[in-house]
Amino acid sequence: MRPYSGERLCRRCFFRSIEDRVRTAISKYEMLRLDDKIMVAVSGGKDSVTLLHILTNIEKAFPKANVCAVTVDEGIRGYRDEALKVAAKNCRKVGVRHVVVSFKEMYGYKLDEIVAMAREEELTPCSYCGVLRRRALNVAAREADADKLATAHNLDDEAQTIMLNIIHGDAPRIARVKPALDEVHPRLIRRIKPLCEVPEREVALYAYLKKIEFQSVPCPYARTALRSDIRTMLNRIEERHPGIKFTIFKSIEKIRPALEILAEKAEIQDCKMCGEPTVGEICKPCQMLRGLSILI
């Protein structure tokens, strides 16, 4: 049962309702063109594996479109190896090409090593991982000649990010919580979030009922983040007031136009260290690696 709508659906109607919601989001937010080459970021967790299954299914109706997948191996002991296998297995199952890129080969160090080097720094493991992973995904998508990079952010993720930005004192960043990012530079592959209107528990239920294999071990670093406190709190409030995750998401849509005017369109230029497109002279990944004395 869906507490926020009162619906009770049978298995088949539930599947269709999730798939329809993804299709609706894709067309409403103009995520895809008929002939797009789509790269799905597949971590191996329930959200990304489910997205892979739904997208390859939808794509069958569009002969000119094309789906492939990428997994980033951050180098997290006891976590990523298993996930990599699961990701590869799912890609074989749906018949798409699977690319793996690793922090080790891109940056010279695994995340575990970076975290060990960063002990004294103020940044959390998730800060390093987020910045370096985003870069890795963009490079992989570009090298695969993809038009779009699909990530599996669900409704819960988006509601959490909105709250996180406000609580972090960075409300203007809310403008970036968008189902489909604008084209800002030819070498920045446009990111899309086809699951943005599906609540996390429905993604989980879909994966479970479809018997989709996924990795369920949580990341060992996840607990350190403010985000997990926000997740808990939103789930508690959602339980007592069903539908608030949707209203948070819709709420921000109303102010996004104003926020986008506020955020002057920053000029994208080439990073002076690595040449990747960035705002400012030196990109975030290079700043981080320099902070760790990996780059000088």
- Chain contacts with a second copy (rule: CB under 8 A): 162-163, 165-172, 174, 226, 229-230, 233, 236-237, 240-241, 244, 247-248, 250-252, 254-255, 257-259, 261-262
Instruction: Indicate the residue among 187 and 250 with the shorter CB distance to a second copy.
Output: 250
The least distance separating a second copy from the CB of residue 172, rounded to whole angstroms, comes to 5
The least distance separating a second copy from the CB of residue 165, rounded to whole angstroms, comes to 8
The least distance separating a second copy from the CB of residue 4, rounded to whole angstroms, comes to 12
The runs of H, that is alpha helices, within 60-154 are 80-94, 103-107, 111-117, 125-143
Instruction: Indicate the residue among 166 and 212 with the shorter CB distance to a second copy.
Output: 166
The least distance separating a second copy from the CB of residue 178, rounded to whole angstroms, comes to 15
Q: Which of 69, 131, 79, 61 is nearest to 103 (CA)?
A: 131
The least distance separating a second copy from the CB of residue 166, rounded to whole angstroms, comes to 5
Instruction: Give the list of residues 6+ apart from residue 256 with CB closer than 8 angstroms, or none.
Output: 174, 175, 178
CA separation (Å) from 252 to 25, 161, 175, 216, 248?
A: 16, 11, 8, 31, 6
Instruction: Indicate the residue among 66 and 124 with the shorter CB distance to a second copy.
Output: 124
Instruction: Indicate the residue among 176 and 272 with the shorter CB distance to a second copy.
Output: 176
Instruction: Indicate the residue among 216 and 247 with the shorter CB distance to a second copy.
Output: 247
Residue 208 φ/ψ, nearest 5 degrees: -65, -50
Q: Say if CB 41 and CB 137 are below 8 A apart.
A: yes
Q: Are strands 148-150 and 190-192 parallel, antiparallel or unpaired?
A: parallel
Instruction: Indicate the residue among 209 and 261 with the shorter CB distance to a second copy.
Output: 261
The least distance separating a second copy from the CB of residue 286, rounded to whole angstroms, comes to 27
The least distance separating a second copy from the CB of residue 293, rounded to whole angstroms, comes to 29
Tokens of 66: 């094309």
Residue type, 258: A
Question: To 5 degrees, how large is the angle CA 175–CA 180–CA 181?
Answer: 60
Instruction: Indicate the residue among 68 and 174 with the shorter CB distance to a second copy.
Output: 174
Q: Which of 102, 126, 77 is nearest to 288 (CA)?
A: 126
Half-sphere exposure of 229 (CA within 13 A, CB side): 6
Strand partners, 101: 72
Strands of 35-94 (E only): list them: 37-41, 66-73
The least distance separating a second copy from the CB of residue 28, rounded to whole angstroms, comes to 17
Instruction: Indicate the residue among 128 and 249 with the shorter CB distance to a second copy.
Output: 249
